[in-house]
Amino acid sequence: MAERTAACLALLGFLALPAAAADWPAEFWNPAGSPDDIVLPLPCDGAITFRRVETAAPDNWLADESLQLGNSDTAGQEHSESLLRDSIVGSLSLDGTPAGRFYLIGKYEVTRDQYAAVMNPSCPTPTEDGALPAEAMSWLDAQTFAARLTGWLNANAAGELAAAAGPQAFVRLPSEEEWEFAARGGVAVPEAVQRQRLFPMEGALEDYVWFAGFKSCDGVLQPIGLLRPNPLGIHDILGNVQEMTADFYRLRTRSRPHGQLGGGTARGGSCLTTEARVRTAERAEFPLYDPETGQLAGKPFTGLRPVIGAPILIGQDRIDRINEDWRDIGQTRIQIAPSDDPITTLNRLAETEDDPATREALTAAAARFSNEMERRNAIESRSAVAVVNAGMLMIRDYIIGAELITNIEKVSKAGDDVDPQMLRRVYERQEITKDAFLASLVHATDDFDQPTLDQAAAIIRKENAARHQSMMPRTRASSDRMLEMFVDFTRRYRGSPDTSPAQFYDEIDAYYQDLRGR
């Protein structure tokens, strides 16, 4: 059986790949290496680098993360790049739970040498030109690259693939949602920043993007990884070559994707894109076949950046859990007896109704009610995240105020004059901070149950882990500690609403003193 399987794979080209060794310097495939890169081998002793893209979602297989695609500033491109609400969640999970989902995306565009190592019968000799992005392959050839690489990894590096991506992982082209979420910076930037025209840049546009014009590539392809990366450590996500996705092109109406499917969809622009048009919302349609010959065709300045994903329904246990989550996600959060659940009641009435029109109306009403509850539950989840973030920030503001008061009092004790009006304003500001903290605490416990707050804290914790990587360890630790403090306060306040606020202030003061003593 194993011999038969190997023979079939060989016929498909998965195992019949070049295997000769090659001197392949890292500067040609990972010129800006980082300790948290995920590197997988290629044929010909090559390698390809991926970045992990976290997605913040609760512990429910049907939960996902809200995502805004497009931009409001799309004059002349409204049909293609206008605002569109969507959702995303990764398909990989190393521990098999839905709370830790992520996906992997190429750190760079696939280079000419990497493409040749997978697709050609003989190994390339790595060169500087080979570090240019591969381009002009057909969409189906790009799919074949992903399929052949998946087969080769499973035959030659299955352990490495599983360690990086979990069971049954495979290489493919990204969805538009995966591409745009990663391009915007993912959870490494706040949602409000994700929605901006470009990901955060500390320098000029030409420090991050290859685009048309003398300031940049001026229509000439450039080697991968020479410019600065986006917040997720991904290079050249905008410009150089536009990147194929797995999706067929669709227009956009004012509120949704249009129903007509077209050719392929490429994202990100290229060296032919003008500086004024550079944006993460950039979309382009490209033909899958040559309009003159009718044969498969590629397009210049169009390449690929692969992702690694996995199937969803990978076993009966997973299917059973998804069914449980499906029932949970549409239920109301109000504690009522099953007999009083309006969705259950409507469905029961529909089952016993003889008149087809009435039965259809009852079923439709139950579906609308369930959809509305799912929408409201998603809104509640986002609101809980905002409230917990506010409480954590109030603790931080309280500590900043305490430090300011300490410094002023120190100056006063040293005999220096202190403006009494300034001192009064500082104390008044601290009282306002106390009131705001207490309001956040009451709001959190009155409006949300504890599992919702704990879930919100888990989302914030995951977002902070990605967003604060460049901060000093002490800053990251203090943010985590203030988050844990606020969530702990909500548990205690919920159990004893008559707890004196002074008890919470005393604990924050103690933590402040601990910070000062370090």
397-428: pLDDT as tens digits: 999 988 888 888 887 787 777 788 888 888 88
> How many Cβ atoms from other residues are within 10 Å of residue 469's Cβ?
12
Average pLDDT on 173-193 reads 92
Which tokens is 216 given? 């940049």
pLDDT on residue 416 = 73
Q: String of b and e for 89-123 (b: at least 16 CB within 10 Å)?
A: bbbbbeeeebbbbbbbbbbbbbbbbbbbbbbeeeb
The 3-state DSSP composition of the chain as helix, strand, coil percent (nearest 5) reads 50, 10, 40
Which tokens is 352 given? 């016993």
**Which of 70-74, 131-135, 353-357 shows the highest mean pLDDT?**
131-135
3-state SS assignment for residue 232: coil
- The larger pLDDT score, comparing residue 334 to residue 476, is at 476
pLDDT on residue 339 = 53
% of the chain with per-residue pLDDT over 70: 93
60-95: pLDDT as tens digits: 999 888 888 888 777 788 888 888 888 999 999 999
Q: Which of 94, 114, 106, 71 is nearest to 182 (CA)?
A: 106
The answer, yes or no, to whether residue 381 has pLDDT greater than 50, is yes
**What is the rounded average pLDDT for all residues in the chain?**
87
1-46: pLDDT as tens digits: 444 444 444 444 444 455 444 579 999 999 999 999 999 999 999 9
3-state SS assignment for residue 452: helix
- The larger pLDDT score, comparing residue 162 to residue 59, is at 162
Q: String of b and e for 302-339 (b: at least 16 CB within 10 Å)?
A: bbbbbbbbbeeeeeeebeebbeebeeebbbeeeeeeee
Average pLDDT on 185-208 reads 89
pLDDT on residue 298 = 94
pLDDT on residue 309 = 97
Measured in degrees and rounded to the nearest 5, phi and psi for residue 190 equal -60, 155
The pLDDT confidence band at residue 311, using thresholds 50, 70 and 90, is very high
CB half-sphere exposure, 58, CA atoms < 13 A: 21
Are 472 and 362 in contact, with CB atoms under 8 Å apart? no
- The larger pLDDT score, comparing residue 343 to residue 481, is at 481
- The larger pLDDT score, comparing residue 502 to residue 113, is at 113
pLDDT on residue 340 = 59
Q: Which of 337, 341, 363 is nearest to 350 (CA)?
A: 363
pLDDT on residue 10 = 45
92-117: pLDDT as tens digits: 999 999 988 999 999 999 999 999 99
The answer, yes or no, to whether residue 254 has pLDDT greater than 60, is yes
Q: What angle do CA 300, 304, 307 make, to 5 degrees?
A: 170
Please tell me the least confidently modeled range out of 146-160, 288-302, 356-370: 356-370
Integer Rg of the chain from CA: 27
Element (H, E) at 389: helix 356-413
Domain boundaries, the chain: 27-309, 373-517
Q: Which fold has domain 27-309?
A: paralog of FGE (formylglycine-generating enzyme) (3.90.1580)
pLDDT on residue 1 = 42
Beta bridge partners of 285: 265
What is the distance between the alpha carbons of residues 110 and 48, in angstroms, rounded to a whole number? 8
